[in-house]
Amino acid sequence: MKKSSAKLIGMPWDFASLFNEAIRCLPERVMVKRDYMWASEIGKDYTSRYLRMHAHPMSNPINERSRRKFVMGHVTEWIVGIILTLTGILKSKQLRGEVTLPGMLRVSGKMDFIAGGDIDWVAAGEKVKEVRALFALSLDDMPPIIFHAIERVLFRMEQMFTRVPLKEYIIEVKSCSSFISDRLEKSKQPMPDHALQAFHYTLANNIDTMLIYLCKDDAMCHQFEITKSKSLIKLYTDDVVKMTAYFKGSGKNYLKNMPPKAPEVEFDMGTFTFLKNSQVAYSNYLTMLYGYKDFDEFKWKWQYKVTAWNRVIKRCVRGDNLTAANKTIIQDALTFFPDWDVYVSKAKAAGAFQKEEVEDGD
């Protein structure tokens, strides 16, 4: 009897739906009322923090997009951790740091890594060889760029620090988009809330913090050293004092004593541009506090205005002729930002927007 040559046809399957489902079902941290702050909250809007501390139900729970961003943040942190580990630079990770200013609420958080100190470069080199051997049969299990980065970092670090130890740093890693990466490049400053979070770890552990941004779109890396300074101490202290006062003044009905709401748009002095306030846009209480159905409704309300204001302020800074449409846009901006002329003067003094740019139509 002739054997059948028929092939078993497998059941079709869908990786994308399975992966997306895995992200959707990530467990959420249960909200409980707390009388302390997270380090990651410092520098952010007081009202949303206040409501979270009272465990008030969210009007805008974490959505799928936010979950995906959260996951990619962890992937970015993992990549940096792998490089630090295999170059022998990593000392510890996920250590808790707490600060309690006199009479104030406690601030708590976990730092990503501590790295530096005396390094055994020979042992580090052997470790890289060992890992290479482990992946020799399946190099695709770790992207070649990771091995290249490890070997390059190890080679350069050993050249520079053979006879002297590395300075120890707390390492705080942030993933970011191209938009934020460009903003960091132009302003030469970290995001204010990230700087305060990093400063918390420095204050808690008496070690300077290296704040690292890795762009998810093009792998551009930015670094800022956060040290103890009068300006950061003031910003940090002011934040903690205000949040403590708001929380302790909650009273029996905390909803009647909420902090003032954050502005929906703001002017960034680092880049001399108007921006939609991301803390409002991504607030878990966007609908409750501001009346927007969701992020998209908030975005489209301000998208045209902010774009128009930024286009015209550039013309003012460069001294271009202003059209009637430009002047109408300035009058609109003045209803929200009466210091328009101050912004123009400061941007001129800083030499902003002097490069030729392609203008959109008015």
Confidence (pLDDT) at 92: 84
**For helices 64-86 and 15-24, angle between their N-to-C axes, nearest 10 degrees:** 90
pLDDT bracket for residue 223 (50, 70, 90):
very high
pTM, 2 dp: 0.84
Mean pLDDT of the chain: 87
- 27 and 259 in contact (C-beta within 8 Å)? no
Query: What whole-number distance in Å separates Cα of residue 215 and Cα of residue 177?
Result: 5
Alpha-carbon torsion, ordered 218, 195, 206, 232, to 10 deg? 150
Rg for the chain, CA atoms, rounded: 25
pLDDT in tens, 226-264: 999 999 999 999 999 999 999 999 999 999 999 999 999
**Tally of domains in the chain:** 2
| One domain for residues 239 and 295 | no
| One domain for residues 174 and 78 | yes
Out of 260, 292, 322, a domain closes at 260
What values do phi and psi take at 11, rounded to 5? -75, 130
- Mapping DSSP to helix (H, G, I), strand (E, B) and coil, where does residue 285 land? coil
| One domain for residues 211 and 113 | yes
Query: What whole-number distance in Å separates Cα of residue 129 and Cα of residue 110?
Result: 31
- Asked if residue 128 is part of any domain, the answer here is no
- Mapping DSSP to helix (H, G, I), strand (E, B) and coil, where does residue 268 land? strand
CB atoms within 10 A of CB 293: 11
- Asked if residue 5 is part of any domain, the answer here is no
Tell me how far the alpha carbon of residue 354 is from its chain's centroid: 29
Confidence (pLDDT) at 137: 54
- Mapping DSSP to helix (H, G, I), strand (E, B) and coil, where does residue 273 land? strand
| One domain for residues 246 and 350 | no
pLDDT in tens, 110-122: 999 998 888 777 7
Which amino acid makes up residue 60? Answer: N
- Asked if residue 30 is part of any domain, the answer here is yes
Which distant-in-sequence residues (6+ apart) come within 8 Å of 129 by Cβ? Answer: none
Structure tokens at 9: 């046809």
Pairing between β-strand 90-93 and β-strand 113-117 as defined by DSSP bridges: antiparallel
| One domain for residues 284 and 336 | yes
pLDDT bracket for residue 317 (50, 70, 90):
very high
Q: Which domain holds residue 315?
A: 264-362
Which distant-in-sequence residues (6+ apart) come within 8 Å of 343 by Cβ? Answer: 267, 269, 272, 313, 337
- Asked if residue 38 is part of any domain, the answer here is yes
Out of 207, 234, 260, a domain closes at 260
pLDDT in tens, 275-297: 999 999 999 999 999 999 999 99
| One domain for residues 190 and 202 | yes
What values do phi and psi take at 8, rounded to 5? -70, 125
| One domain for residues 288 and 205 | no
Pairing between β-strand 209-215 and β-strand 221-226 as defined by DSSP bridges: antiparallel
Among 214, 120, 220, 225, which residue's Cα sits nearest to residue 170? 225
Which distant-in-sequence residues (6+ apart) come within 8 Å of 1 by Cβ? Answer: none
- 59 and 286 in contact (C-beta within 8 Å)? yes
